[in-house]
Structure 1
Amino acid sequence: MPDQDVILRTQGLTKAFKGFTAVSDVSLSVRRGSIHALIGPNGAGKTTCFNLLTKFHAPSSGSIHFNGTDITALRPAEIARMGVIRSFQISAVFPQLTVLENVRIALQRKLGTAWHFWRGKRSLSRLDARAMELLDAVGLASFAHLGTAELAYGRKRALELATTLATDPELMLLDEPTQGMGHEDVETVTALIKRVSAGRTVLMVEHNMGVVSSIVDRITVLQRGAILAEGSYDEISRNPHVKEAYMGTTDDEQALPVQAATEAA
């Protein structure tokens, strides 16, 4: 894949914890403008890999390049400022604030007043129009003035997408975006991810194979911290090594179940 087509590339990425290797020699290329999924059985190293990419963990060895720049030694805040923004498995919103105020906080960095907490609310009113645009994009405009604590779980995850978009990410890292959701919420959030991915790149860890099969362009399968296979959903679902890792079978006639559960490592 030509370098100009690759937004994120890792070479030999490895992380060991006191003798246990959680991620082993992972070389990954994420195509610009694509939705790319990391999947794998429980304990495969998916979330550890995300922690390495966003520098919540320092790699034991290997390198990480974003837009051709080596970011291996950078701190999490520096990587975020470059346009790599991550969501987490656990809902991360301010429950005591309104839905609109949550998005406005994410937008506040652009004013250059991010730490001027003593300024009045009126100084932030210029952000309201953009905040409402983002809420409309994720179907939450009618909830703008509702307390965030009152939102249903699926809508809280939609709000997280809005706050993530508010930072103008070039690369969005979504960690289990549909975890804990009912079927209806899963469909809603899946459609939102597809919609907001326009003009951006998404790298996601996801356990729901229905989500993966419906929106993902390319899949990387991890097992015991190493890459087991890569390809399209059709290629991965028929790969005998992947089927053995998930289901204990190499039956060529049996594809991966749509709802195969692969919780984050």
Structure 2
Amino acid sequence: MHRDELILETRKLAKSFRGFTAVNDVDLRVRRGSIHALIGPNGAGKTTCFNLLTKFLVPTAGTILFNGIDITHERPAQIARRGVIRSFQISAVFPHLTVLENVRIGLQRQMGSAFRFWRSERSLDALNARALELLDQVGVADFADTVTVNLSYGRKRALEIATTLAMEPELMLLDEPTQGMGHEDVDRVTQLIKKVSAGRTILMVEHNMSVVSSIADRITVLQRGAILSEGPYAEVSTDPRVMEAYMGTTDAELHGAH
């Protein structure tokens, strides 16, 4: 893969906690414009890997490159300014504000004006128009004036995608976007991820194999903190080592059954 095609690359990325190696020499390569899924059995190191990429954790060893720039020692806020934005931390949404107000806060953060509440009414109107556009994009414009706490689980997730889009991510990190959802919401959110992937790159941790098989261009399988297999779904899902790693669950789960 040509270097220019890579938006994110890790080299020998490692993280140990008191002698336990959670992430072990991971060389991850995410292609620009793709949907890349990180999968693996429980305890494989997926979340730790995500936390290293967003600087919630400091690596024990290794390098993280974003657009060819070494970001290993940058702080979370610096990474966000570069356009690496993580979604699906439920706390990113303020439950007692309306859906529109939540997206507007995302827009104000992007503009660096989160605390300028004295801004003129006219500039707020401009933000409202953009916020409505984003809500429309994720299919919740009809709920603009709804207090967020009253939204269904799936729609809350759609709102989180809208607030993440407000931050203008170049690389969007989605942490188990369909976790805890019913079938209908899973399908809706999967299609939404596919839709918003246009013109940006998505790296996602996801347990639901039917989601991964339907939208991921490339899949990295982690086991015990190391890369076990990598490639398109058809290749990875028939890899004997991957099937063995998932034997703790079921063969059906790996091949997309609910």
Q: TM-score range by the shorter chain?
A: over 0.9
Q: Following the alignment from structure 2 to structure 1, what is the Cα–Cα distance between the partners of residues 111 and 47?
A: 33
Confirm or deny: 8 A CA contact 2:110 2:166 kept in the other structure.
Answer: no
Hey, what does 1:179 align to over in structure 2?
179
Three-state SS of the structure 1 residue aligned to 2:44 is coil
**Seq. identity, %:** 72
1:113 lines up with 2:113 in the alignment: yes
1:39 lines up with 2:39 in the alignment: yes
Deviation at 1:152, TM superposition (A): 0.3
Confirm or deny: 8 A CA contact 1:89 1:177 kept in the other structure.
Answer: no
Deviation string for 1:100-150 (max 9, x for gaps)? 000000001344422223556664222011111100000011100111111
Deviation string for 1:44-68 (max 9, x for gaps)? 0000000000100000000000000
Confirm or deny: 8 A CA contact 1:219 1:231 kept in the other structure.
Answer: yes
Pairing 1:148-163 to 2, within 5 Å after superposition: 148-163=148-163
Confirm or deny: 8 A CA contact 1:11 1:27 kept in the other structure.
Answer: yes
Aligned residues: 258
Q: Following the alignment from structure 2 to structure 1, what is the Cα–Cα distance between the partners of residues 80 and 91?
A: 19
Computed over aligned residues only, the root mean square deviation of the Cα atoms, in angstroms, reads 1.9
Look up the equivalent residue of 1:72 and give its one-letter code.
Answer: T
Point out the more displaced range, 170-179 or 240-249: 240-249
Hey, what does 1:202 align to over in structure 2?
202
Hey, what does 1:257 align to over in structure 2?
255
Deviation at 1:90, TM superposition (A): 3.8
**Cα distance change on mapping 1:100 and 1:28 into 2, 3 Å:** same
Three-state SS of the structure 1 residue aligned to 2:207 is coil
Look up the equivalent residue of 1:237 and give its one-letter code.
Answer: S
Point out the more displaced range, 231-240 or 83-92: 83-92
Q: Following the alignment from structure 1 to structure 2, what is the Cα–Cα distance between the partners of residues 127 and 57?
A: 33
Q: Following the alignment from structure 1 to structure 2, what is the Cα–Cα distance between the partners of residues 197 and 255?
A: 25
Q: Following the alignment from structure 1 to structure 2, what is the Cα–Cα distance between the partners of residues 171 and 188?
A: 21
Three-state SS of the structure 2 residue aligned to 1:7 is strand
Point out the more displaced range, 86-95 or 140-149: 86-95
Unaligned stretches of 5+ residues in structure 2: none
Q: Following the alignment from structure 1 to structure 2, what is the Cα–Cα distance between the partners of residues 200 and 244?
A: 33
Hey, what does 1:235 align to over in structure 2?
235
Confirm or deny: 8 A CA contact 1:91 1:157 kept in the other structure.
Answer: no
Hey, what does 2:99 align to over in structure 1?
99
1:52 lines up with 2:44 in the alignment: no
Hey, what does 2:8 align to over in structure 1?
8
Pairing 1:213-232 to 2, within 5 Å after superposition: 213-232=213-232
Hey, what does 2:17 align to over in structure 1?
17
Three-state SS of the structure 1 residue aligned to 2:109 is helix
Confirm or deny: 8 A CA contact 2:110 2:168 kept in the other structure.
Answer: no
Pairing 1:131-146 to 2, within 5 Å after superposition: 131-146=131-146
Confirm or deny: 8 A CA contact 1:89 1:176 kept in the other structure.
Answer: no
Deviation string for 1:4-35 (max 9, x for gaps)? 10000000000000100000000010000000
Look up the equivalent residue of 2:256 and give its one-letter code.
Answer: V
Three-state SS of the structure 1 residue aligned to 2:14 is strand
Confirm or deny: 8 A CA contact 1:7 1:31 kept in the other structure.
Answer: yes
**Cα distance change on mapping 1:115 and 1:238 into 2, 3 Å:** same
Look up the equivalent residue of 2:143 and give its one-letter code.
Answer: F
Look up the equivalent residue of 1:37 and give its one-letter code.
Answer: A
TM-score (norm 1): 0.93
Q: Following the alignment from structure 1 to structure 2, what is the Cα–Cα distance between the partners of residues 111 and 90?
A: 22
Confirm or deny: 8 A CA contact 2:38 2:203 kept in the other structure.
Answer: yes
Deviation string for 1:237-256 (max 9, x for gaps)? 1000000000159x9xx893
TM-score (norm 2): 0.95
**Cα distance change on mapping 1:147 and 1:121 into 2, 3 Å:** farther
Look up the equivalent residue of 2:10 and give its one-letter code.
Answer: T
Three-state SS of the structure 1 residue aligned to 2:23 is strand
Confirm or deny: 8 A CA contact 2:88 2:160 kept in the other structure.
Answer: no
Unaligned stretches of 5+ residues in structure 1: 261-265
